[in-house]
Amino acid sequence: MKRLAHFYGTVKDGKLVLQCPQLASEFLKSMPEDTPVEMTIRKQYANKTTQQLAYYFACLVKKPSDELGFGVRIDGRFELDMIFRQLFLTQMPGTDEEYVQELSDLTVAEMGDYIENCFRQLVELGYQPEEPDPRWKLKGRNND
């Protein structure tokens, strides 16, 4: 099985500073000792979807999962992520064609709506999610 992870950061004084160092560390710890790896570093494109996904997984899935006691499934997906997808991305519910849409299929606008729904759901559960960086353009949260 091929494992692939994307981590984002900035360069400060010639050093890589990760946005989510804890997630990167956890990913690396999950790999067998002495596993050969390859790393590619490139300039990050100004892509709202990248920002949306980073915010979604770091602030609306991983951190609340840890703090609210949601687990990680055997296939590596966060339980809270699967709940959100079932709640907000189920297409043609109640029919034989019912399916859960993948995040990769969402447009920037649809992902913005999805983030807003997830944010609102966490607030309804009594959890206050971290607000996104004000420079990010996350539809429904700011800078639209």
Task: Evaluate whether 66 touches 130 at the Cβ level (below 8 Å).
Answer: no
Decide if 144 is inside a domain.
Answer: no
pLDDT of 2 strictly over 70? no
Please give the pLDDT value at position 97. 86
Decide if 46 is inside a domain.
Answer: yes
75: containing domain: 9-124
The pTM of this model reads 0.61
Domains in the chain, number: 1
pLDDT tens figures, 47-94? 457 888 889 999 999 999 999 888 887 677 899 999 999 999 999 889
Confidence band for 15, pLDDT divided at 50, 70 and 90: very high
Decide if 60 is inside a domain.
Answer: yes
User: Which single residue is written with the structure tokens 């920002």?
Assistant: 51
